Amino acid sequence: MSLMLRFVLTGIAALLILATTSKSVIAQDAVPGWHSNLTQAQRLSEESGKPLFIVFRCVR
């Protein structure tokens, strides 16, 4: 089994959105297999029993 499939993949790509605004903005374009909502990814991790692989990608 591909190693990557054994993780819940979560990308916080390009820009990090902090709790500085009431706006809800998704930071990353949807990429198959990757989740951009950490809370949803945590839920999926709990349900599937898989650990989380969380990526912060910082584009300058």
| Residue 10 burial by Cβ neighbours in a 10 Å radius (0-12, 13-18, 19+) | buried
43 neighbors 8 (Cβ within 8 angstroms):
no
The answer to whether 29 contacts other proteins (rule: CB under 8 A) is no
Secondary structure class of 12 (helix, strand, coil): strand
The answer to whether 26 contacts other proteins (rule: CB under 8 A) is yes
The answer to whether 34 contacts other proteins (rule: CB under 8 A) is no
The answer to whether 54 contacts other proteins (rule: CB under 8 A) is yes
Q: Give the footprint of other proteins on this chain (CB under 8 A).
A: 3, 6-7, 12, 14-21, 23-27, 36-38, 42-43, 45-46, 49-60
